[in-house]
Structure 1
């Protein structure tokens, strides 16, 4: 019989794949040999070359120099998220470290988790642009570093606005940046690189919460692509002129535009239609006919000439680096991460069910083959401002559970992205509130199905999903048969006081103010209701987690053990908020799977 480890992908990728300026090579970070290292693979096909040999550091973000001769990347140590910048020759060799403040973050692109093309070089390749909190741990500044002299120009930020360097205009004049005040609220900044004394200019001053996500510049440097939700519920695509302040509409679908890539001739973009990525491309004003792609999710889209590269994931195949030839209309997989297990995987089904206030909750249902009454795992995604989509998630956890006769329902409760900014904003300052009622109605929906055993419905999740798991078990103990919490906060008050310093200004608007609303935060915290937990619980934590610190798991485990409750607690000393080491991830997900099968299986 196949084991859970047999369902794990051969490798896992980080957030972006970078296409070389000549369109011949793709660079990415993957952990086929255990840790996330930098690789380069020919777009025409062939074996990848590994350029780094880290065993404890993890390569996170990757970008090519304008001449294609070198690669810039970030890496951290054992998941601590204190990212440093490195430059390495594209043919290999020893990497040159560009930053040396070891206990601070240095990030490329729109954020640490940016999944689009990253363009951190000036057009002449002489300097790189990035953001860092090296001056003040609570403030993230913009930096421009001259690669020849090492000289750094700094644009200082202030607490409450987290700056990110996006790109430099093709003429080398303007640095485009974002200033985030929250996950769904930011402004665009423009820095004049030709005038060191000129103050930055804010391009998108506004009231309320609005999202402005910049993309590629036009070749003449007069405008840049902009994804924004200024005109409605969803993210549209336009061209923004810094000179006039006007945004010309390009694409306005009734869903979010997620990715945009352009090389001056071809523009490509993706639309998130009910969780599935739809790819489009336009050249000379005409839409191109593209081959039909598997129903899944596209990330990190890039284009050079006739070559599109991106990461592609479906519910039945793990993430892969792929190349689409626009001239030939063919899709080529550049990597092979699929497990060799001899099982026919189950495609997820999109379902919806009503919740307490008349809204409908969208969810992905994975039902085991065959007849019989089944147990079910409710899988709650992290974020919470993120989205459950048809992905080969969690090192094959879903497909392994299905092979053992346990179903999976993965809901997008309120706060999830992809369904409009009103739905997303419902989570703000309401952690452990109405979304917990959504999860109660998730249980009710499952219990209404004639093939589900209501006494064998469990819950699991990581990060916010871990918080949701602890909330379910502590505040709805009569419903849930078992739970697994991975890096999940148990106490919103202590979490709000222990997050990275650059996040703290956002806490009041996101979760609640720990200085003035301690009672409110404790009323919403699982730790307050810990004595009600009776279901079997498994807690997993990374010792180096900077976002949900180990004390969050410690306190709920200690409280349960003080009552004599048997709770399993696994701590990974060399991991942070999630996993970078493949062996650790395979073990943790495998242990999670066995725990859930034990308590929910038939």
Structure 2
């Protein structure tokens, strides 16, 4: 079957070149024109099943730049709101991940992930596809991330990430902490000291430096430094005040994000406030820079819209809640109609509620919320479209992602270049909405989730069931169309997609419930969810399987070795199998963030060993399929390689499937189809065979 094919990595990708850095000043990015990507820019004949997402309109709201995979990979497109005459702006092979049209309309900025890896770079292009240039991230060993535009469109904020400290190759046996497993890649001991790190007989840690700049896309003025942090987990410039004096930054590890106001003249912070995880665009300054509107869960269980008021020294004066909804997170916050209204997307148990409300300069809001009707269940992005409207990206249980125009005085309308509901799914089984299913953990915690029932089965008939676990762990299962689920359902298997503890959408306490020793309870949650599906009459207890992506892949492996008799098979996708090797090989910035969530690789080494599936691999009893992107820099492919090798050494059926030109997320249409079919065939073999 397809899963038998394994594409070997090259020596170059398996052994990154050493990086030698000391406490030197950061090097500003250099704007460099690049050749136009080869190939036609005429609109190709669209694939029947395609999605459009991450829209960014021009200043007049007449055209929209967006990401679309109609040509087989996520690429940069643009088109008028009322016509299907969309066209490619960059025909290159690199996956596009974010898009931002400049306030003046002259440029479209976007982030690409070469080879699907996590080493991203930021580019700009003219709206007609000409004058393409790289702004940051092209230098070896660096990555760059998109920030906001200056209000006048003269410059774009970018964040540049680069390793600092000494990296001279893999750790030796004497360098590794107890239980450390040899593997390729650099070490990311967050507080670890490497001998000779500074090159002068002293020592230096291997960390990550994140530096934010304002960059002129035309290259006529030098980049301007906004922030510089070593050992940071994240750093994004979310807004620049109208007068250019202040910048709003989002920084910090997962579950400990914070908004920071800094003076652009000297990069000095003036105040900070905790903010919620999720969408990185956390807020915006009012026109007079005396108020900062924030999406925050500060001192709250669920995120709300807060108004942070600044005094004459740009420090915190007072803080107030503008609007909140009981039991709902404010998931997306955007400002429309010339910043006169806020657009608020609330997460209500997994589905979205979109509202707008007027704002005042004093930071108060009249009780004039206006709900926007939605054609589908989940809002993934909201952006202003000219002075009187907005553009909304939607996903739903019956369609692939699409973009809707929302005029102020008219109902939402699907953009013509977004696939219709009927054309969103290939011919065959029509998609059906899942039903919510709440399970109770053994310690009494209420868990969320959605159950997808295969068609044609009577209500009381127990079915073979695949428990699918999302990543994060702070992600959340949503009632949206998933081609993988559709493939499994079409072969007669149900899918239960639960939110175990650590997932978002159910409050801050729920997100933090898996920290430290709580991760053992998260592993038990998987078993409790499977048991609940059986007790509800949906699932056949003799035909259960488990699979998941990223953290869900880790949780899959953990469930198989902690509950070895519950599932008949499992599929881990880009999942961690050993926390020691994960921290040794992952990106430094991700290690900084993951240490808070999973544990510190040195201080918590005993806990991490106990939580690692490799430490209990002798308990594995069932066939295992591992799938990985060859360019995954978040969770290196060695995590799958070592668990498959260990399973085979114990006489178990175990397969490894490496997808070429993919990273942590599979984005190419051909690879996605290959993965879906291989996964469905594997499940069909072991659950139905």
Fold similarity call, TM over 0.5: yes
Any idea what SS the aligned residue of 2:282 has? Answer: strand
Distance 1:235 1:497 in 2: 34
Deviation at 1:383, TM superposition (A): 0.3
Gaps of 5+ in 1: 1-7, 110-119
| 2:234 is aligned with 1:234 | no
- Does residue 127 of structure 1 match 2:197? no
Pairing partner for 1:340 from 422, 426, 436: 426
1:192 aligned partner: 263
Q: Does 2:99 align with 1:47?
A: no
Looking at structure 2, the residues matched to 268 and 507 of structure 1 have their Cα atoms a distance apart, in angstroms, of 31
Unaligned runs of 5+ in 2: 1-46, 165-206, 360-365
Deviates most, 161-170 or 548-557: 161-170
* Cα separation, 1, equivalents of 2:129 and 2:232: 40
Task: Indicate whether 1:526 and 2:613 are aligned.
Answer: yes
Contact persistence 1:297–1:314 (CA under 8 A): yes
Cα gap change, 1:102 to 1:27, in 2 (>3 Å):
farther
Equivalent-residue separation in structure 2 for 1:144 and 1:40 (angstroms):
25
Q: Distance in 1 between matches of 2:119 and 2:74?
A: 15
Within 5 Å, give how 1:13-28 maps onto structure 2.
13=52, 16-28=54-66
1:558-577 aligned at under 5 Å gives the runs: 558-577=645-664
Give the Cα separation in 2 of the matches to 1:348 and 1:486: 23
Flag the 1:13–1:473 CA change in 2: closer, same or farther, 3 A. farther
Question: 2-side partners of 1:588 and 1:13: how far apart?
Answer: 21
In the alignment, what sits opposite 1:327?
A: 409
Alpha-carbon separation, structure 1, partners of 2:412 and 2:299: 36
Match of 1:297? Answer: 378
Equivalent residue in structure 2 for 1:257, among 296, 317, 330: 330
Name the stretch that deviates more: 552-561 or 304-313.
Answer: 304-313
Q: What do the CA deviations read for 1:109-132 (whole angstroms, capped 9, x no partner)? A: 4xxxxxxxxxx2212322211111
CA distance in 1, matches of 2:478, 2:277: 25
Question: Structure 1 residues 535 and 343 mapped into 2: Cα distance closer, same or farther (>3 Å)?
Answer: same
Q: After the TM superposition, which residues 458-469 of structure 1 pair with which residues of structure 2 at under 5 Å, given as runs?
A: 458-469=545-556
Q: Spell out, residue by residue over 1:546-602, the C-alpha distance to the aligned partner (whole angstroms, 9 max, x if none).
A: 111011111111111222322121012311101121211111122112211222237
- Counterparts of 2:256 and 2:249 in 1: how far apart (Å)? 14
Decide whether the 8 Å contact of 2:590 with 2:634 is kept in 1. Answer: no
Bigger CA drift: 487-496 or 203-212? 203-212
Q: In the alignment, what sits opposite 2:124?
A: 87
**2-structure distance, mates of 1:365, 1:151:** 54
User: 3-state SS of the aligned residue for 2:272?
Assistant: coil
Mapped contact 2:254–2:277 kept (Cα < 8 A)? no
- Matched residue pairs, number? 577
* 78 and 126 in structure 1: CA distance in 2 versus 1, 3 angstrom threshold: same
Change over 3 Å in CA distance of 1:142–1:423 after alignment to 2? same
Instruction: Check whether the contact 2:236–2:280 (CA below 8 A) recurs between aligned residues.
Output: no
8 A Cα contact 1:133 1:139, kept in partner:
yes
1:143 correspondence with 2:213: yes
Question: Counterparts in 2 of 1:390-539, with a 5 A limit?
Answer: 390-393=479-482, 396-430=483-517, 432-539=519-626
Separation (CA, whole Å) in 2 of partners of 1:23 and 1:415: 38
Against the structure 1 CA distance between its residues 388 and 208, is the aligned structure 2 distance closer, same or farther, given a 3 Å change threshold?
closer
Instruction: Establish whether residue 33 from structure 1 lines up as the match of residue 71 from structure 2.
Output: yes
**For the residues of structure 2 that align with 1:105 and 1:47, how far apart are their CA atoms?**
33
Distance in 1 between residues matched to 2:637 and 2:429, nearest whole Å: 37
Structure number, greater radius of gyration: 2
Distance 2:303 2:642 in 1: 40
Shift of 1:288: 6.2
> Does residue 360 of the first structure (1) align with residue 446 of the second (2)?
yes
Q: Hey, which bits of structure 1, 4+ residues long, moved more than 6 A?
A: 206-213
Partner in structure 2 of residue 96 of structure 1:
133
* Contact kept? 1:493, 1:522, Cα under 8 Å: yes
**Residue in structure 1 matching 2:684, options 577, 597, 601:** 597
Query: SS at the partner of 1:156?
Result: strand
Show the counterpart of 2:292: 224
Q: Secondary structure at the match of 1:278?
A: strand
Contact kept in structure 2, 1:290 and 1:329, CA below 8 Å: no
Alignment partner of 1:466: what SS? Answer: helix
Moved more, 59-68 or 147-156: 147-156
CA separation of 1:399/1:206 partners in 2, compared to 1, >3 Å: closer, same or farther? closer
CA positional deviation for 1:289 = 5.0
Residue pair 2:586, 2:633 contacting (<8 A) in 1 also: yes
Provide TM-score, normalisation by structure 2. Answer: 0.79
1:176 alignment partner, one of 217, 241, 248 = 248
Residue 548 of structure 1 is matched in structure 2 by 635
- Cα distance in 2 for partners of 1:435, 1:354 equals 12
Q: CA deviation at 1:103?
A: 2.3
Cα-Cα RMSD: 2.5
The residue matched to 1:245 in structure 2 has which SS? strand
Query: Relative to structure 1, is the Cα distance of residues 267 and 199 closer, same or farther in structure 2, using a 3 angstrom cutoff?
Result: closer
Q: CA deviation at 1:514?
A: 1.6
Compared CA separation, residues 379 and 207, structure 1 to 2 (3 A) = closer
**Is contact 2:308-2:317 (8 Å) kept?**
yes
Query: Displacement of 1:9 after TM fit?
Result: 7.5
1:60 is matched with 97
Contact 2:254–2:596, Cα closer than 8 Å, also in 1: no
> Contact 2:398/2:480 (CA < 8 Å) preserved in 1?
yes
Aligned-partner SS, 2:82: coil
Shift of 1:189: 2.4
Q: Measure, in 2, the Cα distance between the counterparts of 1:590 and 1:12.
A: 20
Q: By how many angstroms is 1:345 displaced?
A: 1.8
Decide whether the 8 Å contact of 1:36 with 1:54 is kept in 2.
no
Distance 2:139 2:276 in 1: 36
TM-score by length of 1: 0.90
Q: Tell me if the contact between 1:186 and 1:212 (Cα under 8 Å) persists in the aligned partners.
A: no
Structure 1 residue 268 and structure 2 residue 355: aligned?
no
Q: Distance in 1 between matches of 2:518 and 2:510?
A: 14
Between the aligned partners of 2:435 and 2:282, the Cα distance in structure 1 is 33
Deviation track 1:343-388 (CA, whole Å, cap 9, x = no partner) reads: 2322111121211111111110111232243100101000001111
1:70 to 2:107 alignment = yes
